Structures are given as C-alpha cells and as structure tokens.
C-alpha cells in the first residue's frame, strides 16, 4: 500500500514539476532565440563590415593603390630665368637676360615598370586583408563556440536541478511516510546548491567570450550576445586529398608570398632600367640689346640655343647588389610558402584526428546516457517502493549530468575541428 502511495506521489511530482519545467525551458528557449539569438553567420558578416583591424588594412591597401600614379609621371620640367648684371657684349649687341627650360626623360619602359611595381605591392596588401579575415573569423568562431558551451552547460545543469527538486519532493514524501530519513533530503539539497553554484560560475565565465566577440565586432564589450540554442555534431564536407591543392592555390597568405615574389621580380626589372641612361632636352632664349653705334645685319637679334644631355650611371655596384637582394628575397619567400603550407597541413591533420576522436566519444556518451537513464528509472522505482539506494540514485544523477556535459564538449570540439580546417580555406 505504501509503495503504491509513493509511486503515486512520484508520478504526481513528475507531472507537476518535471514536465512543466521542461516545457517551460523549451518554450522560453524558443522565444529567446527567435527574438534575440545571433547566428554565427550573422556575426561573421558583421565582423567583415565592422572589424577595426580589417578597416585599417583596407585603408592601407587604398593608400598603396594611390602610389602608382605618383611614380609613373615624368620628372617635372625645369624653367629658369637669368639676368646679366655685367652684360656680355657680342657683335650684334649686349646679352641682357636668359630664359631656359629643360625636361628629363627616363629610359623607355621605366615609368610603366614603376607603376607595375606599386600595384604589385598593393595586391600583396590586399591578400593580407583576406588572410587576416580568415584568422579573425576563426577567433570569432572559437569565442562563439565557447559561449555556446557555457550557455548549454547551464541548460543541462538547470535541467538536472529540476530533476533534483522532484527527487527532493519524493524524499520528503518518503520521510513523511517513515520509510526514509531527513538525511536524504539534505543530500539532495546539498547537490542542488552545488549545481546552482556551478551555474553562477558558468555565468561569470561568459564574460570572456562575450568581450572577445564584441572586441572583434568593434563595439562595447558588455553588449549582450545570445547564441543559437542547438548545434549538432559537425559534418566535414571536405576531401582531405583536395585540401593541399586548395590551400596552395587559394590561401591568401600563400598568394601574398607569391605576389611579394612578383614584387621582387618587378623590382629587378626596375633596377635594370634604373641602370640605363636618362636623357634631357632644353632650350635657352637670350635677349640681346641693340647696338646704337653701328648698323649691322641682325643688330640686337635675340639668341635661341637648343640643348641635349644624357645621364650615364657609371657606378654600377649598387645595381648588382640590388639585384642580388631581390633574388634572395624571392628564395626566402619560396621557403616561407613551403613552411606555411607544411604547418597548415599539419594543423589540418591534427584537426581531423581530433574530429575522429570526438566522433568516437559521442557514440560512447550516447550509450552511457541511455544506460544511465535506464539505471535511474530502476533506482527511482526501487526508492519509491522500498526507500533504498538513495545515494546510488544521487550518484547516477550526477553522472548523467557529467555525460551530458561531455557530450556537449564533443559536439563543440567537432565544430572547433571543422573551423580549424576552414581557417585555411578561402572557399570550398
């Protein structure tokens, strides 16, 4: 009879406490996320638009583009005027003043090469923007997944607190019936208080990833962020054999190194052209005062003089040294490309290993969660009818929370592994 009463009380508690609480958490979660949840893709679009570091790099690129027209123009012409304090007497009169103009011309192709060099430098900066964007996206994803894990850990613990409250009611009923002691109630309350403290700790821990996300978005650090309510285990749609080719062809950092090599090659071309002669042409116009003491042909006739000049680079060691310098830069950049590619592929291999390990863990945790649920149901029935194994029931409730938290960690780690791979891929 007592067992039937206890079972009835337990069922009533489940109907009145557990089920309404679960419904409350589900409905409140749906309402919160439908109104405030910020999806990861939305934040990634915002960071591309608002991140201050990317804006600085964009400004540097825009400034670099403006270098091209500055170096592709001819040197400014020179115009001069002079007077003769002591006029130089000539047969047709005294020279009074001189007006001169000259213009230098570089070796053909030098101006175009200068422009190409500056544009190549600008292209390298542009790829730097894309490379930094991949790194910033990765940092944002890590902070978002960290915040998601903290948020969902609170959900799991609150769900367990609800079950403990129901168990506390059951223990109280058993105490009233004389089939249990108050110690059972106190142990439940102690576990509930412990879990409540964990929720507060998790809430405080959220400030780190929230501040990091807001920093990347260039907005106040205390701006609230509501994460999505559910992530399933990540799927990797990538073929590992294709990743090396994609990275080598598409990763902006490797493309930046290739463009910097192109900059060095154009610098060598420009150096060769700088070693060529440059030419100049000029004109002098001299005014002459007419002589009054004689009558001669072209008396007082002004003088026009045409000039030509050539600038020959005779000291050529600096040009040879410049060529050697750029060739060494090209070799160093090639080594950098190989080093970066090796590191990226190594990181991808590690990410795949982590992903596979989490896939195995997730299956293990699912099995353990199912078995623990079954064991809890058996112990609940036993305690409800006979008042036994309360400590074991509490232990399994705690293990269930631990398994749920471990499963959550594996899900988050699967997305971290996927993001690690995406960090090296501009597009798929």
Residue 342 lies in a domain: yes
Q: Report residue 180's pLDDT band, with 50, 70 and 90 as the boundaries.
A: low
Helices within 228-316 (DSSP H only): 240-250, 252-274
Domain carrying residue 26:
2-73+108-276+316-422
- Do the domain assignments include residue 199? yes
Number of compact structural domains in the chain = 2
Q: How many CB atoms lie within 10 A of CB 193?
A: 12
Residue that terminates a domain, selected from 312, 339, 366: 312
Band the pLDDT of 392: cuts 50, 70, 90. Answer: confident
pLDDT digits (tens, 9 = 90+) for 290-341: 887 777 787 778 889 999 999 998 888 999 999 999 999 999 999 999 999 9
Domain boundary among 294, 312, 330: 312
Q: Is residue 358 part of a domain?
A: yes
Q: Left, alpha or beta for 109 (phi > 0: left; psi -120 to 50: alpha)?
A: left
Specify the DSSP class assigned to residue 292. S
Tell me: do 182 and 302 sit in the same domain.
Answer: no
* 331, 304 contact by CB (below 8 A): no
What pLDDT digit, counting tens, does each position of 206-258 carry?
999 999 999 999 999 888 999 987 899 999 877 777 888 888 888 999 999 99
CA dist., res. 244 & res. 238, Å (int) = 11
16 and 82 both lie in a single domain: no
Q: What is the pLDDT of residues 46-81, one digit of tens each?
A: 999 999 999 999 999 999 999 999 998 888 899 999
- How many CA within 13 A on the CB side of residue 182? 0
**Model confidence pLDDT, tens digit, residues 10-23:** 444 444 444 444 44
Residue 377 and residue 286 share a domain? no
pLDDT tens digit string along 353-374?
Answer: 999 999 999 999 999 999 998 9
Q: What is the pLDDT of residue 289?
A: 86
CATH of the domain at 40: 1.20.1600.10
Q: Please determine, for residue 428, whether its predicted confidence score (pLDDT) is greater than 60.
A: no
DSSP string, 159-188: HHHHHHHHHHHHHHHHHHHTSS-HHHHHHH
CA separation (Å) from 156 to 195, 225, 300, 310, 402?
Answer: 10, 19, 107, 84, 9
Let me know whether 199 and 136 are in one domain.
yes
Residues 156 and 234 both lie in one domain: yes
Q: Kindly state whether residues 298 and 341 are assigned to the same domain.
A: no
Q: What pLDDT, on a 0 to 100 scale, did the predictor assign at position 427?
A: 53
Contact yes or no for 227/147 (Cβ under 8 A) = yes
Tell me, yes or no, whether 427 lies in a domain: no
End position of a domain, from candidates 292, 312, 332: 312
The sheet carrying 278-290 orders its strands as 78-90, 93-105, 278-290, 303-311
Same domain flag for 95 and 147: no
- Do the domain assignments include residue 428? no
Same domain, 384 and 241: yes
pTM: 0.79
Q: What percent of the chain has pLDDT over 90?
A: 57
Indicate whether 328 and 181 sit together in one domain: yes
Quick one: pLDDT at residue 242?
Answer: 82
215 and 302 housed in the same domain? no
Do residues 300 and 238 share a domain? Answer: no
Q: For residue 381, what are the β-bridge partners?
A: none
User: Is residue 264, in this structure, part of any structural domain at all?
Assistant: yes
- Picking from 282, 318, 329, 319, the residue whose alpha carbon sits closest to that of residue 121 is 329
Is 370 part of any domain? yes
Residue 83 and residue 214 in one domain = no
Phi, psi at 344, each rounded to 5°: -65, -45
**Is 263 contained in some domain?**
yes
What are the backbone dihedrals phi and psi of residue 362, each rounded to the nearest 5 degrees, phi first? -65, -35
Asked whether the predicted pLDDT for residue 3 surpasses 50, the reply is no
Q: What is the pLDDT of residues 136-173, one digit of tens each?
A: 999 999 999 999 999 999 999 999 898 888 888 878 88
C-alpha span between 251 and 274 (Å, rounded):
34
Which helix (H) or strand (E) segment is 208 a member of? helix 207-216
């Amino acid at each position: 009879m007592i067992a039937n009463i206890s079972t009835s009380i337990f069922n009533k508690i489940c109907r009145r406490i557990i089920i309404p609480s679960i419904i409350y958490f589900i409905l409140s979660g749906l309402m919160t996320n439908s109104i405030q949840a910020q999806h990861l893709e939305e934040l990634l679009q915002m960071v591309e638009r608002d991140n201050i570091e990317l804006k600085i790099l964009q400004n540097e690129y825009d400034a670099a583009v403006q270098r091209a027209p500055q170096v592709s123009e001819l040197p400014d012409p020179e115009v001069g005027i002079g007077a003769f304090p002591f006029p130089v007497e000539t047969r047709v009169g005294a020279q009074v003043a001189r007006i001169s103009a000259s213009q230098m011309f570089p070796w053909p192709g030098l101006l175009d090469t200068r422009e190409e060099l500056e544009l190549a430098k600008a292209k390298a900066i542009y790829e730097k923007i894309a490379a930094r964007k991949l790194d910033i996206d990765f940092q944002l994803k890590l902070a978002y997944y960290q915040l998601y894990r903290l948020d969902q850990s609170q959900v799991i613990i609150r769900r367990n607190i609800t079950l403990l409250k129901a168990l506390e009611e059951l223990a109280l009923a058993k105490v009233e019936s004389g089939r249990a002691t108050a110690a059972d109630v106190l142990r439940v309350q102690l576990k509930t208080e412990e879990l409540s403290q964990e929720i507060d700790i998790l809430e405080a821990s959220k400030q780190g990833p929230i501040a990091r996300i807001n920093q990347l978005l260039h907005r106040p650090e205390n701006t609230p962020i509501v994460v999505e309510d559910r992530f399933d285990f990540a799927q990797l749609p990538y073929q590992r054999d294709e990743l090396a080719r994609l990275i080598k062809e598409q990763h902006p950092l490797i493309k930046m190194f290739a463009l910097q090599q192109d900059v060095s090659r154009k610098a060598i071309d420009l150096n060769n052209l700088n070693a060529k002669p440059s030419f100049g042409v000029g004109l002098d116009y001299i005014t002459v005062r007419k002589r009054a003491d004689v009558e001669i042909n072209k008396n007082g006739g002004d003088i026009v003089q045409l000039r030509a000049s050539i600038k020959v680079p005779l000291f050529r060691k600096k040009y040879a040294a410049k060529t050697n310098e750029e060739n060494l830069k090209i070799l160093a950049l090639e080594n950098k490309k190989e080093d970066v590619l090796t590191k990226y592929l190594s990181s991808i291999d590690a990410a795949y290993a982590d992903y596979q390990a989490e896939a195995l863990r997730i299956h293990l945790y699912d099995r353990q969660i199912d078995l623990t649920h079954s064991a809890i149901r058996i112990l609940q029935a036993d305690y409800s009818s006979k008042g036994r194994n309360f400590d074991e029931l509490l232990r399994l409730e705690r293990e269930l929370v631990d398994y749920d938290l471990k499963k959550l960690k594996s899900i988050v780690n699967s997305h971290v592994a996927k993001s690690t791979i995406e960090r090296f891929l501009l597009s798929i």
